[in-house]
Amino acid sequence: MAILDTGIKTIQNVSKVAFGLGSFSDLYGLIESRTSTEGYAVVFLDTYFSNSTVSDRLAEYEVVIVDTSVEPKTTTIDNIMFTLRSKYGKAPDIIVGIGGGSTLDTAKACSNLFNNPGSASDYQGWDKVQHKGVYKVGIPTISGTGSEATRTCVMTNPTNGLKLGMNSDYTVFDHIILDPILTETVPRDQYLYTGMDAYIHCMEALEGGYRNPVGDAYSRETLKLCREVFNSENMLETSMREKLMVASYLGGCSIATSYVGVVHPFSAGLSVVLGTHHCEANCIVMNAMEEFYPEYYQEFHSMVKKQNVRLRKGIASNLTDEQYDELYNATIIHEKPLYNALGEKFKEILNKEKVIEIFKQM
């Protein structure tokens, strides 16, 4: 496939990045420095930490617990916004997101909506956000999604069933804190599923037609770090968690300059129709990607085996005709990544029968 110009000439990155063991402690001074006497701070906290000491230390702020058992929905974001606006009548001085990709995306979406009228669904798509949102800080507690670095926050719209992001330079965090200590409690399987999101982002970008030399550099370094982590004897060792946290950030920077490929549209189908969480869905989709990414397919499964993690199989092997119709529609709607991966004839390559066949391989 010929190399195509992404059209991206200016790259919006996070303004400030703090990295290191124990750097989370910087948060409290940062909040105080940004909050006026009459203002307030909102902290979006992953439900995993709702009964932890982390939650106790944040009690003086407006804490919103994010239910991460389901991925963000536009209606959920709208409900949060209604509650905060009703309670305070004005925007906060600072928004903080602490958690995985769903929590970080929720924080980014609400930051945008405080300074842009309407509902979350109004801004799903490319560059629809017109005004800079509330100053926002992202603190990932798991590595791989790259949400801490990307220009999007992904949500499912229950009305039309589409899973799309607010893709905008205004969605990028103003400040992030990368503290590997926060990933110590991540379950082993989830650590790999989420970490592989960075690997998959970047292999799709490098195998796609739309390329950017800066994005390529980010992608290559991300893959290098992921290989070091997932080919190691202990992917959970402190130095490996540090490397995966950097890989997640760089992978997010990469995808801001390019597009994903075949994996993510199929993953979105699993999420929308079957409710499968994004990162595990990506890994499940890789079970059916030998035709499209043969070398990465082999490498991916080699690393999964090395880390002794089992992937679910048969998730889409015995569904109703209606469910297969929904999976096809939820996949093929993602035209940009599919064009990036397969070219202008992607709908001929991925006709309905082919898409269903691929899902049955999972």
DSSP per-residue codes, 275-309: ---HHHHHHHHGGG-TTT-HHHHHHHHHHHHHTT-
What mean pLDDT is reported for the chain?
95
What is the CATH classification number for the domain harbouring 50? 3.40.50.1970
Sheet holding 163-167, edge to edge: 125-126, 163-167, 154-156
What is the CATH classification number for the domain harbouring 323? 1.20.1090.10
Residue 52: the pLDDT is 79
Asked which of 120, 149, 183 is the last residue of a domain, the reply is 183
% pLDDT > 90, the chain: 89
- Residue where the block lists tokens 């960075």: 198
What token pair was written down for 176?
Answer: 């992030």
What token pair was written down for 113?
Answer: 């909506």
Q: 53 pLDDT band (50/70/90 cuts)?
A: confident
Q: How far is Cα 133 from Cα 135, in angstroms, rounded to an integer?
A: 6
Q: 80 pLDDT band (50/70/90 cuts)?
A: very high
Q: What pTM does this model have?
A: 0.93
- Tell me if 6 is assigned to some domain: no
Let me know whether 108 and 171 are in one domain: yes
Q: Which comes out higher in pLDDT, residue 56 or 254? A: 254
- Tell me if 229 is assigned to some domain: yes
Task: Round to the nearest angstrom and report the end-to-end CA distance of the chain.
Answer: 27
Helix (H) or strand (E) run with residue 63 in it? strand 62-66
Asked whether the beta carbons of 344 and 265 are under 8 A apart, the reply is: no
Let me know whether 287 and 333 are in one domain: yes
- Tell me if 106 is assigned to some domain: yes
CB-CB neighbours of 158 under 10 Å: 13
Let me know whether 224 and 334 are in one domain: yes
Residue 144: the pLDDT is 97
**CA neighbor of 359 nearest in space, from 323, 334, 309:** 323
pLDDT surpassing 80 at residue 333: yes
pLDDT surpassing 70 at residue 1: no
Asked which of 183, 209, 239 is the last residue of a domain, the reply is 183
pLDDT surpassing 80 at residue 13: yes
Q: 345 pLDDT band (50/70/90 cuts)?
A: very high
- Tell me if 200 is assigned to some domain: yes
- Tell me if 335 is assigned to some domain: yes
What token pair was written down for 197?
Answer: 């999101």
Side chain identity at residue 226, one-letter code: C
Q: How far is Cα 332 from Cα 328, in angstroms, rounded to an integer?
A: 6
**CA neighbor of 333 nearest in space, from 130, 110, 124:** 124
Side chain identity at residue 162, one-letter code: L
Let me know whether 175 and 193 are in one domain: no
Let me know whether 128 and 222 are in one domain: no
Residues 111-122, mean pLDDT to the nearest whole number? 97
Q: Which of 3-12, 183-192, 207-216 has the lowest mean pLDDT?
A: 3-12
CB-CB neighbours of 37 under 10 Å: 4
Strand partners, 177: 18
3-state secondary structure of 97: strand
- Tell me if 224 is assigned to some domain: yes
- Tell me if 8 is assigned to some domain: no
Let me know whether 301 and 209 are in one domain: yes
pLDDT surpassing 90 at residue 335: yes
Let me know whether 155 and 199 are in one domain: no
- Tell me if 3 is assigned to some domain: no
Q: How far is Cα 38 from Cα 54, in angstroms, rounded to an integer?
A: 25
Q: How far is Cα 120 from Cα 117, in angstroms, rounded to an integer?
A: 9
Let me know whether 173 and 57 are in one domain: yes
Residue 56: the pLDDT is 82
What token pair was written down for 16?
Answer: 């400030």
Let me know whether 156 and 193 are in one domain: no
Asked which of 151, 183, 215 is the last residue of a domain, the reply is 183
pLDDT surpassing 80 at residue 91: yes
Residue 113: the pLDDT is 98
- Residue where the block lists tokens 């799309």: 164
Let me know whether 143 and 216 are in one domain: no
Task: Give CA angle at 336 (334, 340), nearest 5°.
Answer: 120
3-state secondary structure of 143: coil
Pairing of strands 163-167, 125-126: parallel
3-state secondary structure string across 214-268: HHHHHHHHHHHHHHHHHCCCCCCCHHHHHHHHHHHHHHHHHHCCCCCCCHHHHHH
Side chain identity at residue 290, one-letter code: E
Q: 219 pLDDT band (50/70/90 cuts)?
A: very high
Q: Which of 77-91, 97-111, 160-174, 233-247 has the lowest mean pLDDT?
A: 160-174
Let me know whether 261 and 354 are in one domain: yes
Let me know whether 130 and 238 are in one domain: no
pLDDT surpassing 90 at residue 256: no
Q: Which of 70-74, 256-260, 300-304, 346-350 has the lowest mean pLDDT?
A: 256-260
- Residue where the block lists tokens 């390559």: 349
Residue 63's domain comprises: 16-183
**Domain count along the chain:** 2
